[in-house]
Amino acid sequence: MAQASSHREAPFISGQPKVDGTDLYMFRSYEPGREGFVTILANYQPFQDPQGGPNFAMFNPDALYEINIDNTGDGVEDLTFQFRFKNTSKATALTVGGKQVKIPLINSGPISGVNPASLNVRETFTVDLVRG
């Protein structure tokens, strides 16, 4: 029998889906020359599927996302990765009935490249490493 978490059982997090950390994966890097490194992947915002666009939920710019790592086995974090996000709107507008109307979508067409004209909201982040 296998058991799994629903990621939505805690009362606080059920009302805060943008900060809901759903999964964390850690594995040794398999890239040549990086065998001594560990790769960490974290998932947030459950139930956000590719077909859920065009307005995908963005990270909360008022939240502090953290990944705590205990690499000595004492139950106390030794490394903490802190992520903060910023969402910047380009205020892209279309002419509708002779008036400029801002697009309420994250993008106005296919996305290719880092910052194409079709991307209406750009999400950036910073990461800080706290030791101890």
What's residue 94's pLDDT? Answer: 84
Do 39 and 62 share a domain, yes or no? no
65's tokens: 């996302």
Q: Average the pLDDT over each of 63-77, 79-93, 101-115 and give the range with the smallest value.
A: 101-115
- Domain hosting 24: range is 1-47
Q: How large is the average pLDDT for residues 59-84? A: 94
Residue 68 has pLDDT above 90, yes or no: yes
> Is residue 111 very low, low, confident or very high in pLDDT (cuts 50, 70, 90)?
confident
Same domain as 77, residue 20: no
Same domain, 62 and 12: no
- pTM of the predicted protein model: 0.75
**pLDDT at residue 54 is higher than 70:** no
- Is residue 40 domain-shared with residue 73, that is, in the same domain? no
Nearest to 58 by CA among 120, 8, 121: 121
Q: Are both 76 and 13 inside the same structural domain? A: no
pLDDT higher than threshold 70 for residue 52: no
| pLDDT at 5 exceeding the cut of 60 | no
What is the spatial distance between Cα 20 and Cα 7, in angstroms, rounded to a whole number?
7
Question: Which tokens sit at 69?
Answer: 């790592």
